Amino acid sequence: ETGVTQTPRHLVMGMTNKKSLKCEQHLGHNAMYWYKQSAKKPLELMFVYSLEERVENNSVPSRFSPECPNSSHLFLHLHTLQPEDSALYLCASSLAGGPPDTQYFGPGTRLTVL
Amino acid sequence: KNEVEQSPQNLTAQEGEFITINCSYSVGISALHWLQQHPGGGIVSLFMLSSGKKKHGRLIATINIQEKHSSLHITASHPRDSAVYICAVPETSGSRLTFGEGTQLTVNP
């Protein structure tokens, strides 16, 4: 499998649930990103990892917890989410950790919080 | 913070028409990205350009660094070009890209 993959593609969860989103890239990239896209809003950067170290945390609530065990995998652990957290969560990767590298996006996870 | 504005927000065209989408930004940059997002949500990077013009198939992207403006053109548009087109520019520091709100393009047969 090539490119950037994300699982699951769709997720419905209650506010008390704990779930995790997974992202995997097979491009040999060193940087990985989590973005949130709410309806009718621009993409918002959540986290950036470069060589498995978090280099940016864009004031994201602690109910979102990222994990990057190696340069190919990125997780977003979710707990006690709110309905306003319902959105499309996109993972991306790039060769290095800063712009203007081209970022390659996964298909996204459509999250609904009830 | 780099402010990014795209126009138009929505665009409907007939198959075969020439399409132009515009992007303006407020702070000088090293490169600008054009992205395409299909209804399913997946995003594809179309162009990264720092000067002049780039062409890929029926897509052409131009940038004027002095005027802080870029355009994305689609020649001989086709219904499969229907998507949201997003412009993105880097922040002055850090790893962050600032994204425009996107232009929803619908090409009717």
- The candidate with the shortest Cα–Cα distance to A11, out of A103, A76, A100, is A76
Which residues sit opposite A18 in a β-bridge?
A79
Which of B42, B96, B98 comes nearest A105 by C-beta?
B42
How many inter-chain contacts (A to B, CB under 8 Å) are there? 71
pLDDT in tens, chain B (109 residues): 778 999 999 999 999 999 999 999 988 788 899 999 988 778 888 999 989 999 999 999 999 999 999 999 999 999 999 999 999 998 766 567 889 999 999 999 9
Query: Letter for the amino acid at A97?
Result: G
User: Quick check: A68 contacting B, CB < 8 Å?
Assistant: no
Angle formed at CA A106 by CA B44 and CA A94, multiple of 5 degrees: 75
In the predicted model, residues of chain A with pLDDT beneath 50 are: none
CB spacing of B42 vs A106 below 8 angstroms: yes
CB spacing of B101 vs A45 below 8 angstroms: no
- Chain B residues within 8 A (CB-CB) of chain A? 4, 29-33, 35, 40-45, 48, 50, 86, 88, 90-91, 94-102
CA distance A43 to A45: 7
pLDDT at B95: 62
CB spacing of B95 vs A50 below 8 angstroms: yes
CA distance A27 to B98: 24
DSSP A102: P
Which residues sit opposite A24 in a β-bridge?
A5, A73
- Shortest CA gap A21–chain B (Å): 16
DSSP B81: G
Query: What is the average pLDDT score of chain B?
Result: 92
Tokens, residue A36? 């949130």
